[in-house]
């Protein structure tokens, strides 16, 4: 699986393009739909995954959903279980805290997670916003600590690993 990052919008949100066997998933198309489409090129988009519904993660969602005519998967229509979309298999993990709709997409075989604004290199997502909860964040942190070492792709900034965060992140 190949992961490409397109940093978009004024808040420099990470939109990810995940490719496997010529097929593509878009994770969190925050803004700049034209740039995202340019990066996609002629690859076949299967679906769009949304970690949470803050504006900086969904700004280009409707334009891309309509353009590619693909389904959108988010907390609105997913449960905590395993899913298969084309050649992609992933598990949804409920990681509420930053918002009450935060989810993580865990690709076990590829050993990667797309965490949105739940977890960042050295810190966690803000919990002082509307629909956020520090108690939910604490539960999500305890849950994520049970997973094996994987590459963590956050909604902003650089990727990290779960092992590194367990060792150095004061919140984990």
Question: 143-152 pLDDT, tens per residue?
Answer: 999 999 999 9
Q: Which residue has the tokens 């298969």?
A: 84
As to burial, measured by CB atoms within 10 angstroms (0-12 exposed, 13-18 middle, 19+ buried), residue 137 is: buried
The fold for domain 2-168 equals Metallo-beta-lactamase; Chain A (3.60.15)
Whether 22 shows a pLDDT value over 90: the answer reads no
| Whether the predicted pLDDT of 4 surpasses 90 | yes
Q: Please state whether beta strands 151-154 and 112-116 pair in parallel, antiparallel, or not at all (unpaired).
A: parallel
Report yes or no on whether pTM surpasses 0.85. Answer: yes
pLDDT of residue 29: 98
Nearest by Cα to 64 from 23, 115, 25, 113:
25
| Short-list 44, 108, 99, 52, CA closest to 78 | 52
Question: Rounded to whole angstroms, how far apart are CA atoms 105 and 122?
Answer: 20
Residues 61-119: tens digit of each pLDDT: 999 999 999 999 999 999 999 999 999 999 999 999 999 999 999 999 999 999 999 99
Judge whether residue 171 has pLDDT over 90.
Answer: yes
Chain mean pLDDT for the chain = 96
Q: What is the DSSP string of 32-94?
A: -HHHHHHHHTT-EEEEEE-S---HHHHTTHHHHHHHHT--EESTTT--SSEEEETTEEEEEEE
């Amino acid at each position: 699986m190949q992961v490409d990052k397109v940093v978009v919008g004024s808040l420099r949100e990470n939109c990810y393009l995940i490719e496997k066997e010529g097929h593509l998933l878009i994770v969190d198309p925050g803004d700049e739909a034209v740039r995202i489409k340019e990066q996609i090129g002629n690859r076949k988009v299967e679906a769009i995954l949304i970690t949470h519904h803050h504006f900086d993660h969904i700004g280009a969602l409707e334009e891309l959903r309509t353009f590619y005519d693909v389904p959108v998967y988010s907390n609105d229509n997913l449960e905590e279980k395993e899913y298969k979309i084309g050649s992609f298999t992933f598990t949804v993990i409920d990681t509420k805290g930053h918002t009450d709709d935060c989810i993580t997409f865990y690709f076990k075989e590829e050993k990667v997670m797309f965490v949105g604004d739940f977890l960042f290199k050295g810190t966690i997502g803000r919990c002082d916003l509307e629909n956020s909860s520090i108690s939910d964040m604490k539960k999500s942190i305890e849950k994520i600590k049970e997973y094996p070492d994987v590459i963590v792709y956050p909604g902003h900034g650089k990727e990290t690993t779960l092992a590194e965060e367990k060792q150095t992140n004061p919140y984990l």
